[in-house]
Amino acid sequence: MKDIAARIVSSEEERLILVDSEDNQTGFMSKAECHDGDGILHRAFSVFLFDNNGRLLMQRRAAGKRLWPGYWSNSCCSHPREGETMRAAPAPRLQDELQTDSDLEYAYKFSYQARFGDLGSEHELCHVFLGKIGAEPAPNKTEIESFRYLSTDELAQELADRPEDFTPWFKLEWQRLTTEYSRMLSRYTDAR
C-alpha cells in the first residue's frame, strides 16, 4: 500500500462544483478547466485550525501545486467533491492532507478571484471554517511542503513584513476573521 503521507488526493481531472453568485449549484467541471484563464466560479472551503496555545496551523503549499506553489496558507484549502455537502467535505480532506480531525465551526462564505500569472486563476465561492486541531498533523507531501504554528502577533508581523509570501485567499480570509469575526476567532486564539 502506498504511503498515506505521499498519496495523491487531488488531481486536475477531479470534478468541481460550479455555482452562481448565490452559491446555487449550476453544474460540474474539471479542476483544470475551473482554474484556466480567469477561472470559473466553483465551490471551495478554507479551514483554520488552532492548537491549545491559540496558534494557527499554517501550511506551505507543495511545490507541485499549479497555483501558488510554495506559498503559506491556512491549515487546509480544498473543494467539496461531487455529491458531497459542504458541511461534510472538510473532514475527509483534513484526513487526506493532514491526517488529523476537528469539530469545525462555520464562520462565513465569500467569493474572490485571483490570477497567478499565466498559469491560471482561483475563482471561488469559499466557505470558511474554524476549529481546534485534533491530533498533531502528518502532512501529505503531495499537498503540503511543510507546516508551522503562528500566534496572531507573529502572523500579523509576517503579513506586514512579507505579504507576498501568502496566498491571496488566506490574506482576504484572515483580514475578515480579525475584523468582522474577531469575537468568534478569539474563542480559538485565546490559549486554553
Please report which helix (H) or strand (E) contains residue 91, including its range.
helix 90-98
Q: Residues near 168 by Cβ (< 8 Å), separated by ≥ 6?
A: 68, 112, 114, 122
- Assess whether 76 carries a catalytic annotation: no
Among 77, 122, 143, 173, the active-site one is 77
CA 21 – CA 108 distance, rounded (Å)? 14
Q: Are 56 and 152 in contact (CB under 8 A)?
A: yes
- Assess whether 97 carries a catalytic annotation: no
Among 124, 143, 145, 173, the active-site one is 124
Q: Are 68 and 116 in contact (CB under 8 A)?
A: yes
Retrieve residue 91's grid coordinates. Answer: 473532514
Q: Alpha carbon of 70 to those of 13, 39, 46, 83, 147: distances in Å?
A: 22, 21, 17, 30, 11
- List active site positions: 77, 124
